[in-house]
Structure 1
Amino acid sequence: MNRIPNPRHSALLIVDLQNDFLAPDGAYARGGAVSAAALQLPQRVAPVAQAFKQAGGLVVCSRFTLWPNARGEPMVSSHLKALRPFLKRGDFSPGSSGHAVVPPLEPHVDVSVDKVAYSAFFNTQLEWVLRRAGVEAVFVCGIVTNGGVASTVRDAHARDFDTYVLCDGCAAFNDDAHRAALKDIETVAAVIRCTDATDMMHCSG
């Protein structure tokens, strides 16, 4: 991971920056569970996404999804229901406004994959998309650092992608968890800043 990746073989992977997590009228705002640090991410990540697009890179977003059952109720894992009891019918539902990528990032997204667990690779078509697009290097950002981001990073590493994490493009529910996750991630990925990723995309590859 010491070489500068070719932008045309690179992907920015944005984990779960969705309205239901961040918007004032989203599910997490209703439940009083919005991460203050996460609210800063869309404006910070948008220039990186734009740089990827300009350089010919791929921008992919994972969207956490609560699929409805036959009665229209969300199928929520028991551990998540215990942690977030406020989740209700319509939250993170496919096609809803809450399920959508936040507005500052949506125009830059090439591909979205819907996920049901922490990792953006688990039970999704993400790996197929990345392989088909010729991606060799994956730059990961989003929420939360010690959850979806960390799980996605480890799965990318296990699949032999050159893996980078944007330390200031990620957030958790507290700084200690964020820092601890980044420290652990350093064992499998390069931890860089958003400006570093943008600079890499401006290089010829």
Structure 2
Amino acid sequence: MIPSVYLVLDMQNELVHEDGPAAKGPMGALLKQRSTLENTQLAIERARAAGVKIGFVRIGFSADYHECPSASPLFGGAAKSGMFQLGTWGTEIHPALDQRAGDIQVTKHRVSPFYSTTLMAQLGAAGIRRIYCSGVSTQAVVQACVRDAHDRDFEVIVIEDACCAHSEQEHQNSIQSIARFCTVEKAATVNFAA
């Protein structure tokens, strides 16, 4: 079996918990409709059973937000709203997802999980050559992860039904856009033991 990791991308309370701020927007309803949390947990269970490492990636900033790009249309308002502050409930991984000691943990300050993080060092130390991934949102972190991983010569598999965007059309457009850089699978049928 090729040394592999399943990266669970940005599945943190602020973005996917029913009590988080994102639940009030269009993605909240779509997360339920698509069973994104349930499919993610199923994929985690199946990956662990196959001996695949699990990694959790979150977006987070220090209390003073010194890493936060104030000019960013995506993150610029984080300090004002108090979002993505490390050490708070909002940046914790959703409690329905099984985290364990020894799982890869990555905190990022931009969209890509590779940009200025410890991800490459952790993947290198574990000898990882294949990346399974999913998360929210499809048009942001999932696309960034797939493209960056592809350009770093990893084999990439996206678990499509464990991803979600702000609309189903945006999700489908994103999957179509990245399909040439990866393989697209489902949580119940992806072969983690390959």
- The alignment partner of 2:99 has SS state of helix
Q: TM-score, normalised by structure 1?
A: 0.83
Specify which of 18, 26, 34 is matched with residue 24 of structure 1: 18
One-letter code of the match for 1:122? Answer: Y
Specify which of 96, 99, 104 is matched with residue 107 of structure 1: 99
Specify the alignment match of 1:64 in structure 2.
59
Q: How many residues align?
A: 189
One-letter code of the match for 1:20? Answer: E
Question: 1:73-118 CA deviation, whole Å, 9 max, x = no partner?
Answer: 9935431256x679623x2211211111001114357121011111
- The alignment partner of 1:62 has SS state of strand
Residue 44 (1) aligns with residue 39 (2): yes
**Aligned residues with identical type, % of pairs:** 25
C-alpha root-mean-square deviation of aligned residues, in Å?
A: 2.3
Residue 156 (1) aligns with residue 149 (2): yes
Specify which of 107, 120, 126 is matched with residue 127 of structure 1: 120
Query: Within 5 A, what are the aligned runs for 1:73-88?
Result: 75=68, 77-78=70-71, 79-80=73-74, 88=81
- The alignment partner of 1:50 has SS state of helix
For 1:33 and 1:162, the matched residues in 2 are separated by 33
Is 1:121–1:155's contact at 8 Å kept on the other side of the alignment? yes
- The alignment partner of 2:140 has SS state of helix
Is 1:81–1:87's contact at 8 Å kept on the other side of the alignment? no
Specify the alignment match of 1:176 in structure 2.
169
Shift of 1:139: 0.6
- The alignment partner of 1:98 has SS state of helix
Shift of 1:119: 0.8
- The alignment partner of 1:80 has SS state of coil
Is 2:68–2:75's contact at 8 Å kept on the other side of the alignment? no
Shift of 1:26: 2.1
Which structure 1 segments of 5+ residues have no match?
A: 1-5
Is 2:26–2:167's contact at 8 Å kept on the other side of the alignment? no
Specify the alignment match of 1:95 in structure 2.
87
Question: 1:144-189 CA deviation, whole Å, 9 max, x = no partner?
Answer: 1111100111000001000011111111001111111111111111
Question: 1:12-64 CA deviation, whole Å, 9 max, x = no partner?
Answer: 011100001122332334xx336122343111111211122222211001101
- The alignment partner of 1:52 has SS state of helix
- The alignment partner of 2:116 has SS state of coil
For 2:172 and 2:14, the matched residues in 1 are separated by 25
For 1:163 and 1:186, the matched residues in 2 are separated by 10
For 2:26 and 2:109, the matched residues in 1 are separated by 19
For 1:57 and 1:94, the matched residues in 2 are separated by 27
Q: TM-score, normalised by structure 2?
A: 0.87
